[in-house]
Amino acid sequence: MPRTGRLTTATAVLAAISALATACTGQGADTASDDPKADVTLNFWHGWSAPSEAKAIEENIARFEKAHPNIKVQVTGNMTDDKINQALRAGGDKAPDVVSSFTTDSVGKFCNSRAFADLNPFLAKSGVDKTKVFPKTLLEYTQFDGNQCTLPLLHDAYGLVYNKTAFAAAGITEPPKTWSRFTEVAQKLTKLKGDSYEQVGLMPTFHGYETKPTRLAAQWGATYFGADGKSNLAGDPAFAKMLTAQKDLVDKLGGYEKLERFRNTFGDEWSAEHPFHTGQVAMQIDGEWRASMAKEAGVPFEIGTAPLPVPDEQAADYGKGYVAGTIMGIASGSKKQNAAWELVKYMTTDTEAVVAFANAIHNVPSTLAALESPNLQVTPEFKTFLDIARHPKSSSTPAKADGGTYQLTFEDFAYGVEKGDVTDIPAGLAKTDQQIDTDIAKAK
């Protein structure tokens, strides 16, 4: 299951995070006064809730406590960012010392508000060179303006999961690598049923689970902000090209209204009734978790995975994709920051710990060493996403002071494009840039 946090969830917590700006002053490794070798109990809050995931956390904590017998960890799971922020504002002995969040998009807010401590001094004191431990893209989305207030704790890569049986029946011998071929394959795999569908090759609308503008923008190599820090949606032709291509695919598969009516018949994204599982869609833009979930659902067809296609003019870059992931940090108000750092360091940088956790919950490891570990359990379907994570041109959305608000603004504009409500994309992007710049200025 993806661990990136939904943008709608991100906006719900932005105000709560902002409220921490005056309450949290934070301290660094040089000023934290607690003795990490003293007997102490840490409060660790995370968002995982499934029994297998909770078990994986407990097993990792048990390994940590064995290596650090003086530190006990009180684990609280199934915690939302909203609950975490309420506890951080309240403070006290019951507040978390260490936090893991799925909301990557809120890193800018976490750092800007000083809700989490800057980990750069802790890394330096421990002799950990973060540039040699973590992939460059992961470091970019876990810090803001030089403040490394979080570190990566596993991550997700997005690609294409497809029905190999349906491909074979349609005479398609390989997954599409370019957008033009992707469009052809999606049309060929679409089966009409009356005024609806028996199957669509792909659900291309931006409400279709993981089919988000940010996922597709990564395939075009889009740059969200210029060197001056201003929004760059109108300045980078990649955004207009992506939106035009997506709108063309929507039209060729039957149009927005017809596709949305069919999409409204789909089951929940995290249930066995997911439309890929039921055969309602033949290709799905998704993460590394989907193939294993489909197998667990008992699908009667063979599953394939591949990188998402790229624009025809960027065929040489095929293999790249969008990446994001879970973050981990230390509460600025914690009185146990040196001990808390020992836990964060272990869970995010220890190769054995990272690999064990990745194997247990089927996510992509977040360190360079773990990605290459012989102990990492790799199926053919999973290898696709490891390769996407390693690709030098894979990218993520940058951290900003307004958290994920700028992404929501872009997404709202993209909804208008695919519906046909927007006729002048460049002008609309320029207006969207203005709104994004205004929101970020207010957040600062």
Q: What is the pLDDT of residues 238-253, one digit of tens each?
A: 999 999 999 999 999 9
Q: For the domain that residue 188 is a member of, what is the CATH number?
A: 3.40.190.10
CA distance 377 to 389: 16
Q: Which domain holds residue 67?
A: 7-156+323-390
The type of residue at 139 is L
**Same domain, yes or no, for 162 and 186?**
yes
Predicted pLDDT of residue 3: 43
The type of residue at 280 is Q
Evaluate whether residue 397 is within a structural domain: no
Cβ–Cβ < 8 Å for 370, 354: yes
**Same domain, yes or no, for 162 and 303?**
yes
Higher pLDDT, 416 or 51: 416
- CB atoms near residue 441 (< 10 Å): 10
**Same domain, yes or no, for 366 and 292?**
no
Q: Tell me which residue of 429, 436, 428, 414 sits closest to 245, measured CA to CA.
A: 414
Evaluate whether residue 82 is within a structural domain: yes
Evaluate whether residue 196 is within a structural domain: yes
Cβ–Cβ < 8 Å for 163, 327: no
Predicted pLDDT of residue 30: 58
Examine the pLDDT at 50 and tell me if it is beyond 90.
Answer: no
**Same domain, yes or no, for 92 and 201?**
no
- CB atoms near residue 392 (< 10 Å): 11
Evaluate whether residue 367 is within a structural domain: yes
**Same domain, yes or no, for 150 and 162?**
no
CA distance 283 to 306: 10
CA distance 420 to 91: 49
Domain boundary among 317, 350, 370: 317
Predicted pLDDT of residue 295: 94
Evaluate whether residue 167 is within a structural domain: yes
Higher pLDDT, 141 or 316: 316
High-pLDDT (> 90) share of the chain, %: 78
Evaluate whether residue 235 is within a structural domain: yes
Backbone angles phi, psi at 334, to 5 degrees: -65, 140
Burial class (CB in 10 A: 0-12, 13-18, 19+), 275: buried
How many residues are recorded in the chain? 444
Q: Strand, helix or coil at 219?
A: helix
Predicted pLDDT of residue 32: 78
pTM for the predicted model, two decimal places: 0.87
Q: Which residues contact 402 (CB under 8 A, 6 or more apart)?
A: 14, 108, 109, 439, 440, 442, 443
Q: Which residue has the tokens 């989907």?
A: 290
Evaluate whether residue 411 is within a structural domain: no
The type of residue at 41 is T
**Same domain, yes or no, for 15 and 145?**
yes
- CB atoms near residue 90 (< 10 Å): 11
Burial 366-391 (b: 16+ CB within 10 A, else e): bbbbbbebeebeeeebbebbbbbbeb
27 falls in which pLDDT band (50, 70, 90)? low
CA distance 259 to 186: 13
Tokens of 85: 């922020």
Q: Which residues contact 64 (CB under 8 A, 6 or more apart)?
A: 71, 73, 343, 346, 347, 353
Examine the pLDDT at 23 and tell me if it is beyond 80.
Answer: no
Q: Which residue has the tokens 């607690």?
A: 34
Residue 323 DSSP class: E
Q: Strand, helix or coil at 21?
A: helix
**Same domain, yes or no, for 299 and 333?**
no
**Same domain, yes or no, for 234 and 341?**
no
Domain boundary among 298, 317, 336: 317
Higher pLDDT, 169 or 3: 169
Examine the pLDDT at 391 and tell me if it is beyond 70.
Answer: yes
Least confident of 79-88, 89-98, 120-129: 79-88
Question: CA distances (Å), 376 to each of 55, 201, 354, 361, in order?
Answer: 18, 33, 9, 12
Evaluate whether residue 401 is within a structural domain: no
Helix axes 351-361, 337-349, angle to 10 degrees: 60
Domain boundary among 367, 390, 413: 390
Tokens of 19: 């409220």
Could you report the per-residue pLDDT of 98-120, keeping only the tens digit for each? 999 887 887 888 888 888 999 99
**Same domain, yes or no, for 91 and 13?**
yes
Residue 153 DSSP class: E
**Same domain, yes or no, for 308 and 346?**
no
**Same domain, yes or no, for 69 and 149?**
yes
CA distance 209 to 218: 17
36 falls in which pLDDT band (50, 70, 90)? confident
Burial class (CB in 10 A: 0-12, 13-18, 19+), 195: exposed
Question: CA distances (Å), 58 to each of 62, 77, 331, 351, in order?
Answer: 6, 10, 21, 17
Predicted pLDDT of residue 6: 42
**Same domain, yes or no, for 95 and 26?**
yes
Predicted pLDDT of residue 277: 97
CA distance 399 to 103: 11
Could you report the per-residue pLDDT of 146-168, keeping only the tens digit for each? 999 999 999 999 999 999 999 99
Quote the number of domains for the chain. 2
High-pLDDT (> 70) share of the chain, %: 93
